[in-house]
A and B are shown apart, each in its own frame.
Chain A
Amino acid sequence: MKATKVEEKIFLTIMICSTVFVLSCLILILATVIWRGLPALNLSMLLQTPKGGFYLGKEGGILNAIMGSLFLAGGATALAMAISLPIALFLHFYAKRSWHGGVVRLALDVLWGIPSIVYGAFAFILMLWLGLRASLLGGIIALTFLELPIMTRGMDEAINMVHPLLKESSYSLGATRLETALKIVVRQAIPGLLTSSLLAFGRGIGDAASVLFTAGFTDHLPTSLFKPAASLPLAIFFQLSTPFPAVQNRAYASALILTGIVLGLSIMSRRIAGRLTEHVIR
């Protein structure tokens, strides 16, 4: 065999090995969650809030945490979208050739790497300053900070993928940058924009540290922006840290629910994207 052929074989083997490694990690995690969580999963888990002694293995469910997490991550994602899209459009249309754009992108990349507990602490200071207690709103603010960098960078990339000639077409019809950005580029980039939002939602709903101080925890359903809200990651954490195996299994069931929510949303957003992208130029 020629040396180049051998080389190709070696690299192919490495690529296959790493893919298998990553996939098996994922499968092992899912298998553990399903293995330990599925037997503990039942309707009352999904439909009830914790009753007295829930954390000792008595009856109740985690509806408080499910609703809390959906509100927290949903609110934060909506807020982050409202901030990210203008930043991404600004970066692309107005700051492309200037040094500002580079600085903003660098800042976002650095922010991306900051541990979520730091966001929690930062949001907590902000809340103290605003006179806010641990609450749904506080959690939403903390998660918005957490989601912003990943969402903005994702949207930035999605917008950069739009073919320059498509923009030129719009400009040549006498459209302004704003009209081109909103009517053409956003439309064309919708699949990428949705994916970025979903990634950010996934990061937000799965994070425990940033909501620990800011949203707090409660056994009740979230009814007000100014009252504490429960969340699935914290529910998992509290249940796992009890000494009772039955409660620990419920933690895995909670993890299964969390995974199910993210999976369900991914499938749903793909469907929506499919409908919205009928006209997208490929």
Chain B
Amino acid sequence: MSRVHAKFRSLIADGDPHAATGDAGQDGHHDGPHVVPVWLLAGVLAILLALTVLTVAVTLVDLGPLNIFVALGIAVVKSAFVVLYFMHLRWDSPFNSVIFLSALLFIAIFLAFAMMDTSEYRPSVDAAVSTTR
């Protein structure tokens, strides 16, 4: 039985979420699992539910063209909480964050070019549609 392993388990066994956050290994690379406390998860859930209520409530207020941006802004905040806490990215290897953010980056590039393209050609499409009618 490895000394590292024994220490690793002893730290976790009592269920104290904070015990596992420190450096558990003698050799410095054995951190053990990071256990998120229940109160933190419940707090994140409460925030997510509150933001859901908020995003529905905002639709009852006419903000003109701002409505879509408010709704998406709330969605971004909600997803940030999900990703950072539920999906554990806050405590993960930064490399996972790099992967996640690069996926978002490429979606943004994809959307940006598609929107530029459709905006560019919209007048000619409209003209073509109106003449064929």
Partners in one complex: no
CB within 8 Å of B: which residues of A? none
